[in-house]
Amino acid sequence: MRLATKSAWPGGEPNRERAIGDFALRDGERGLSLWEYTNEDERNLAVVALACERIERTGKLDKLDYLIVSRETVERFGPVTQTPGETPVPRANEALHRELQWSGDALQRLAEALFDDEQSVTRMAKAEVRRLLVALDASDVSSAKVQAAISTEKERAREKD
N-terminal to C-terminal alpha carbon distance within the chain: 33
Confidence at 157, pLDDT banded by 50, 70, 90: confident
Confidence at 138, pLDDT banded by 50, 70, 90: confident
Spatial separation of the C-alpha atoms in residues 96 and 28, rounded to whole Å: 21
Q: Which residue, among 150, 115, 120, 157, has the nearest Cα to 136 in the 3D structure?
A: 150
Quick one: what percent of the chain has pLDDT higher than 90?
89
- Do residues 51 and 132 lie in contact, with contact meaning Cβ atoms separated by under 8 Å? yes
Statement: residue 57 has pLDDT above 80? yes
Spatial separation of the C-alpha atoms in residues 161 and 147, rounded to whole Å: 21
Confidence at 73, pLDDT banded by 50, 70, 90: very high
Count structural domains, the chain: 1
- Do residues 53 and 97 lie in contact, with contact meaning Cβ atoms separated by under 8 Å? no
- Amino acid identity of residue 12, one-letter, is G
Spatial separation of the C-alpha atoms in residues 31 and 112, rounded to whole Å: 18
pTM of the model: 0.92
Tell me the residue range of the domain where 23 lies: 2-160
pLDDT digits over 109-120, tens only? 999 999 999 999
Rounded to whole angstroms, what are the CA distances from 106 to 6, 115, 129? 22, 14, 32
Spatial separation of the C-alpha atoms in residues 50 and 54, rounded to whole Å: 6
pLDDT digits over 2-48, tens only? 999 999 999 888 999 999 999 999 998 999 999 999 999 999 999 99
